[in-house]
Amino acid sequence: MKVTVEKLVAAPIATVWSAYTTPADIEQWNAASDDWHTTKSVVDLRVGGQFSSRMEAKDGSFGFDFAGTYTKVEPEKVVEYTFGDRAAVVEFLPTADGVNVRVTFDAEAQNPVDMQRSGWQAILDNFAKYVERAGL
């Protein structure tokens, strides 16, 4: 099952693209809630390149690596990647008010779809807040 989340980011496309694909920026926004954070991010932004983000609970109780391989990269337009046996597409759609970032991903079977959607949406909302607040 495919799930889509999206968010309008009030910033220029170059800024949005950079913040979404730069490890130092990813470490600032890649969390679904305030009690989680990304402690390390690695990005090799090319087809066949690998990415990894270490996500951890701030209290140290749990952590995991979100990692995969890029399958399509069109700067300032789209990034596609696989992670395990799943795939995702991130589209960057310029509008008069900024950039609509749309993420479509394959849901997994262990957790309810609504929970997955809300988690991915929270991360995307956090991304928009980071970009807009930082005035990058």
Q: pLDDT tens for residues 83-132? A: 999 999 999 999 999 999 999 999 999 999 999 999 999 999 999 999 99
* Beta sheet of 86-95, edge-to-edge order: 2-9, 98-106, 86-95, 78-83, 63-74, 50-57, 36-43
Contacts of 4 (CB under 8 A, 6+ apart): 102, 103, 104
User: For residues 32 and 125, what is the distance between their CA atoms, to the nearest angstrom?
Assistant: 9
Position 135 scores a pLDDT of 65
pTM of structure: 0.94
Contacts of 8 (CB under 8 A, 6+ apart): 95, 97, 98, 99, 100, 101, 128
Position 136 scores a pLDDT of 60
Q: What is the CATH number of domain 2-134?
A: 3.30.530.20
Position 7 scores a pLDDT of 98
In what helix (H) or strand (E) does residue 118 lie, and over which residues does it extend? helix 113-134
pLDDT over 70 percentage in the chain: 99
For the chain, the residue count is 136
User: For residues 130 and 32, what is the distance between their CA atoms, to the nearest angstrom?
Assistant: 13
User: For residues 19 and 105, what is the distance between their CA atoms, to the nearest angstrom?
Assistant: 20
Question: Which residue intervals of 9-96 are DSSP H helices?
Answer: 13-21, 23-29
